[in-house]
Chain A
Amino acid sequence: MEAQVLSGGFTDPAVQSAHAFRSVMEAMARPGTLHAVSGAVPPAPLSAAAGAILLTLCDTDTPVFLAGAADCDAVRSWLAFHTGAPLAGPSHCMFALGTWDGLAPLSAYPIGTAEYPDRSATLIVELPELSTAGSVLTGPGIKDKAALSLPEVQAFQANHALFPLGLDFIFTSGDHVAALPRSSEVG
């Protein structure tokens, strides 16, 4: 087994995952804000932030879909060793990871049911850049308006129209994270 598979996890899992979760929680609670996430050194092409989020949220209970370039041997073995998360197709995953193009089409993912809207996928979208400029966001968690550099607009508007069903998005770039829950209106 390659050494790279075994390394790159949290060195102090309880504390590092607590910090990583707080960043993700703040991001999800305040759409359009950027937060730092660190502690993981995942194999390419994963960003440090995406690696830390996988370690913080995924385990044997959460089927993960690796999309596009993220679906490589290095990532598969790293994820298996550090989280034990089973791999699944888009229609049965709880988390999906990849670039925006790699994750398409969004219609493939579970959006929850009317009685259990929480049974929907969370997409971890790797972006080349992430900034608080671009598409204007309104909704819960946002005081007046916020802005986020989304890869496109229409898909998120269609997703918001499904509320309370829909997908939730976590955006990662380098060691930064932002999020867009289904409750946010993109305008």
Chain B
Amino acid sequence: MTDQAYNFAYLDEQTKRMIRRAILKGLAIPGYQVPFASREMPMPYGWGTGGVQVSAAVLTPDDRFKVIDQGADDTTNAVSIRSFFERTAGVATTTVTADASIIQTRHRIPEEPLTEGQVLVYQVPIPEPLRFLEPRESETRKMHALEEYGLMHVKLYEDIARHGHIATSYAYPVKVEGRYVMDPSPIPKFDNPKMGDMAAIQLFGAGREQRIYALPPYTQVISLDFEDHPFEASKANHACGLCGSEDSYLDEVIIDDAGGRMFVCSDTDYCEARQAAGHKGQDAA
């Protein structure tokens, strides 16, 4: 049921126009962070206010909306954002990846390949990939303008010097169309290869940091690496305990206080669909 006290999808029309203009510029300059006047939302920063504002600007009443939090449809963040748009936009919702036209995500890309016509909206905490190397926005702007990305390679090199391999495992920096270095949001680097050449539109919203950026479909996205230390999409070396999948990204779950643990798919929809199709892992009941 739509909450009649609010405009469609909560935000007022002027705010939506401002966000929509930022999205269009973001699509025209893939990987570039467009500043926007982020609004206060009825949820704290850090809970996906950027993603929620982008979703609100993109949603139509005909959409079917899915929200995932670390791959799961049934965690607090996902449930509350889904019900937020059920109330304020009256949109249909789903947990099935293939049925959704807009998917808002926190820190995962669904296992099932996305298709044309779908839009993936990322919640982004820190949009600036250079921020922890250079805290000043005035400087990082200049570094992007001059394509001065040597510092990022130094960081990856320091990983190798210290650990023997690139230890960065999430928010792994990518280069878009050979121009902008971009933070893919804290997705595991396992998901990085899915960003390039994706059929769906990818939009990124950072509420607290007031930035929107975007990847049009079929855009070249390359994870930074070295010739002798090529990028590797890593995951836990196990099969899912519930559905037995060997090629999905896994969460490690502690199941007792004696060191017992199991590995399960982080993408709950993918795991449930496999279980329903008869696949069984070693820990399945």
Residues in A lying within 8 Å of B, measured CB to CB = 13-15, 17-19, 21-22, 24-26, 28-30, 56-59, 61-62, 94, 114-118, 120, 122, 139-143, 163-164, 168, 181-183
Q: Which residues of A contact B215 (CB under 8 A)?
A: 140
Tell me if A18 and B28 are in contact (CB < 8 A): no
Known: A19-B60, A62-B21, A168-B25. A118 touches B32 (CB 8 A): yes
Q: Look across to chain B and name the residue whose beta carbon is closest to the beta carbon of A18.
A: B60
| Known contacts A28-B216, A61-B17, A163-B29; 13 further A-B pairs (Cβ under 8 A) | A21-B16, A25-B27, A29-B217, A57-B24, A61-B14, A118-B26, A122-B24, A140-B215, A143-B218, A168-B25, A181-B27, A182-B29, A183-B30
Question: B18 at the A/B interface (Cβ < 8 Å)?
Answer: yes
> 3 closest Cβ contacts across the A-B interface?
A141-B216, A181-B28, A14-B8
Main secondary structure of the interface of B (DSSP, over half): mixed
- Encode contact with A along B135-166: 1 for CB under 8 Å, 0 otherwise: 00000011011100000000000000000000
A164 to chain B, nearest CB (A): 5
Q: Can you give 22 A-B contacts (C-beta < 8 A)?
A: A14-B8, A18-B61, A19-B60, A21-B16, A21-B20, A25-B24, A28-B27, A62-B21, A94-B21, A114-B145, A115-B141, A115-B144, A115-B145, A118-B22, A118-B25, A140-B220, A168-B28, A182-B29, A183-B29, A183-B30, A183-B177, A183-B216
Tell me if A21 and B218 are in contact (CB < 8 A): no
Tell me if A29 and B34 are in contact (CB < 8 A): no
Task: A117 to B179: give the CA distance in the assembly, Å.
Answer: 13
Question: B180 at the A/B interface (Cβ < 8 Å)?
Answer: yes
A31 to chain B, nearest CB (A): 8
Tell me if A18 and B8 are in contact (CB < 8 A): yes
Tell me if B60 and A24 are in contact (CB < 8 A): no
Tell me if A29 and B27 are in contact (CB < 8 A): yes
Task: A116 to B219: give the CA distance in the assembly, Å.
Answer: 21
Tell me if B216 and A21 are in contact (CB < 8 A): no
Task: A142 to B32: give the CA distance in the assembly, Å.
Answer: 19
Task: A94 to B145: give the CA distance in the assembly, Å.
Answer: 21
Tell me if B24 and A168 are in contact (CB < 8 A): yes
Known: A14-B8, A30-B216, A61-B18. A140 touches B177 (CB 8 A): yes
Known: A140-B177, A140-B216, A182-B29. A115 touches B142 (CB 8 A): yes
A145 to chain B, nearest CB (A): 11
The size class of the interface chain B forms with chain A is 35 or more
Tell me if A141 and B218 are in contact (CB < 8 A): yes
Residue of B18, B59, B218 near A140 (CB, 8 A) is B218
A186 to chain B, nearest CB (A): 14
Task: A181 to B34: give the CA distance in the assembly, Å.
Answer: 15
Task: A120 to B21: give the CA distance in the assembly, Å.
Answer: 11
Q: Look across to chain B and name the residue whose beta carbon is closest to the beta carbon of A61.
A: B18
Question: B7 at the A/B interface (Cβ < 8 Å)?
Answer: yes
Task: A61 to B30: give the CA distance in the assembly, Å.
Answer: 24
B267 to chain A, nearest CB (A): 25
Q: Which residues of B contact A94 (CB under 8 A)?
A: 21
Q: Look across to chain B and name the residue whose beta carbon is closest to the beta carbon of A164.
A: B29
Known: A18-B9, A25-B201, A56-B17. A141 touches B142 (CB 8 A): no
Residue of A13, A15, A140 near B30 (CB, 8 A) is A140
Residue of A13, A26, A163 near B13 (CB, 8 A) is A13
Known: A57-B21, A61-B18. A28 touches B28 (CB 8 A): yes
Known: A29-B201, A57-B21, A142-B218. A164 touches B27 (CB 8 A): no
